[in-house]
Amino acid sequence: MSKTLYIHGLDGFLSDEKRTVLSKYTQVVSSIMEFRANSVAYYDLLSIAKEKKVDFIIGTSMGGCMAYHLSLHLSLPALLFNPALTSRSVGIDLPTQDKIRDTYLRVVIGGQDDIIDPIQNVAWLATHEKGYMDIKWRNTLGHRIPTDVFEEEVDGFYGRM
């Protein structure tokens, strides 16, 4: 069975409901990250991904930002929910990468997100992403991802794999 690294958002965690959804498709690897206290969280996640030999990466908000950079660095497919690509309230050391993606990237953007500006996120992706990517705009979605939306998007992601 494949392995997926799930990276939660700032001050978040992987809920039991979402773990159950993911477990239908993959073995779940997830650690609680203290992003506020750990400016090198990216490198900790990189170590986990390599050690556990993950095949996919999924992230939400701050975790979506981490997942974006990790998936590019490791050449792994990724699913991002409202990734904090344009603004972050905490400082995280991220690598500078000028690489063309060679794996699938799916990004789910909530049109009603009041934490991460959805228009700026799409503009950032259009400017920085050089590889294969699908952006799914969900006009009525806010920053938090309800379990039913999570399940639908996860199903679509793994369905492409």
Residues 108-133: tens digit of each pLDDT: 999 999 999 999 999 999 999 988 89
pTM value? 0.94
Burial class (CB in 10 A: 0-12, 13-18, 19+), 6: buried
Architecture of domain 3-160: 3-Layer(aba) Sandwich (3.40)
For residue 90, the 8-state DSSP code is: S
- The pLDDT assigned to 87 comes to 73
Spans in the chain with pLDDT lower than 70:
88-90, 92-93
- The pLDDT assigned to 98 comes to 75
